[in-house]
Amino acid sequence: MTNRRSFLTGAGATMLGASLVSKAGAASLPEAHVHTSSATAAPLAPGAGRPYNPVVTLNGWTLPWRMKDGVKEFHLVAEPVVRELAPGMQANLWGYNGQSPGPTIEVVESDRVRIFVTNRLPEHTSVHWHGQLLPCGMDGVTGLTQPGIGPGKTFVYEFVARHAGTFMYHPHADEMQQMAMGMMGFWVTHPKNPRQHAVDRDYVMLLQSYDIDPGSYTPRTNTMLDFNLWAINSRVFPGLDPMLAGLGEKVRIRVGNLTMTNHPIHLHGHRFEVAGTDGGWVPKSARWPEVTTDVAVGQMRAIEFVADAPGDWAFHCHKSHHTMNAMGHDVPTLIGVDHRGVAEKINRLVPGYMVMGDKGGSMGDMKMALPENTLPMMSGDGPFGNLEMGGMFTLLKVREGLTRGDYRDPGWYRHPPGSVAREWSGELLPAPSAPGAARAPASEALEVRKPGAGHGAAHEH
Ligand SMILES: [Cu+2]
């Protein structure tokens, strides 16, 4: 069932539901811009309409619009896309306008916005404008506020962006499948006064989780918790660009979470404040300094800080398995297990067998043959060797003399002489042990004892 009639007579209606665009209407649709590069696009300068300070979508882009009779018109196309997660791995995802996540939409508070959504997926979809205050019929919940947008159909949404802040968009139709396939996008509503909440750099990112078996290309969409790839804007380290900031610049990073779990987002070398949440701006008197902020499922957080420390600073989710790529699952802990002799025996049967993890889990320097289309679990070349990272990890590069608007990677930080941790070969201070601590024998007899078993109890019959 369609609402064509109400669309055509909508000018006089007090509330206009998301409606199917007629054939005649489709002829005058705004261009559906497409972007397939995974490089970070330069901020899109505002064209017609009120001025604002545009954001930078890390490894993404902003959707151009056209102004028609005072209304900002956008055209989103829901479609299958191929996304490079990092060099060496591509994924068959679903997204918008050639990419997952979809392009960032930027508007100004009190703008009237019209968004055409064309569905090129094999099943119906809808778009929910997460966090917006809008007429109920524009909320994009299939079955509740509109019929699903069938394959090949175009719907139109129209509402006023009532309050400035950080928002997301995503399907509210076959949600678990469509979001597990990468369908989501960022939305920023800028304040009417561009000096309000002004910063020098404003980065946006959405978090995704995927479950893609090593050697395959398409996510398992029925996974509920055990994902093996943790992504920022559908990229994983080392595929993510660094964020840049000139020394002393004010920086905002907006993070939206549409995965199935929370992500404690951590920045090194700086203190920040949560300046914005799902509901809008946090009053200055209610902010407190932090270095990690948890972004729960469905939440948006805008953190702000002054980039006052030059360097290459880590920025990442603090769940350590979220800074690894696939393959980290179902591997037993082997620290302390003595493999001497065993590898040799196994090698006679299985040439190339390799003992993993008996001295710790570091695999950064292992050169293993990987299956086709997968990524090393821990990788990334840094100035001092392998970073042993993956997933939700990137860098904030703070540099003196970096001019505003310059987003070119300045290379690795050159530390002032004498300011880098180094090997010590001089005399050592004593290193006291905790009182009563038992010393583990150095790689000698390794008796595995379950924690909790009392010392005496273990020997009872
Ligand atoms: Cu995480």
How far, in Å, is the centroid of ligand 1 from the Cα of 255?
12
pLDDT tens across 260-298, in order?
999 999 999 999 999 999 999 999 999 999 999 999 999
Predicted confidence at residue 35, as pLDDT, reads 87
How far, in Å, is the centroid of ligand 1 from the Cα of 244?
22
Lowest-confidence range among 176-190, 318-332, 348-362?
Answer: 348-362
How far, in Å, is the centroid of ligand 1 from the Cα of 397?
21
How far, in Å, is the centroid of ligand 1 from the Cα of 327?
17
Contact assessment for residue 285 and residue 261, using Cβ atoms and an 8 Å cutoff: no
How far, in Å, is the centroid of ligand 1 from the Cα of 102?
21
How high does pLDDT run on average in the chain? 86
**Residue 390 pLDDT greater than 60, yes or no:** yes
Phi-psi region for residue 384, left (φ > 0), alpha (ψ -120 to 50) or beta? alpha
How far, in Å, is the centroid of ligand 1 from the Cα of 391?
9
Name the most confidently modeled range: 248-252, 366-370, 383-387. Answer: 248-252
How far, in Å, is the centroid of ligand 1 from the Cα of 318?
6
Confidence band for 214, pLDDT divided at 50, 70 and 90: confident
- Residues listed for the chain: 461
How far, in Å, is the centroid of ligand 1 from the Cα of 459?
42
How far, in Å, is the centroid of ligand 1 from the Cα of 136?
32
Number of other CB atoms surrounding residue 332 within 10 Å: 7
Residues less than 5 Å from ion ligand 1, measured at CB: 263, 317, 319, 322
Lowest-confidence range among 272-286, 303-317, 326-340, 375-389?
Answer: 326-340
Confidence band for 362, pLDDT divided at 50, 70 and 90: low
CA 350 to chain centre: 40
Nearest Cα to 264, choosing from 292, 236, 225, 286? 292
How far, in Å, is the centroid of ligand 1 from the Cα of 296?
10
Query: Which token pair is 229?
Result: 């790839």
How far, in Å, is the centroid of ligand 1 from the Cα of 317?
4
Query: Which token pair is 241?
Result: 């660009």
How far, in Å, is the centroid of ligand 1 from the Cα of 259?
9
How far, in Å, is the centroid of ligand 1 from the Cα of 189?
26
Phi, psi (rounded to 5 degrees) for 320: -65, -25
How far, in Å, is the centroid of ligand 1 from the Cα of 299?
13
How far, in Å, is the centroid of ligand 1 from the Cα of 232?
10
How far, in Å, is the centroid of ligand 1 from the Cα of 295?
9
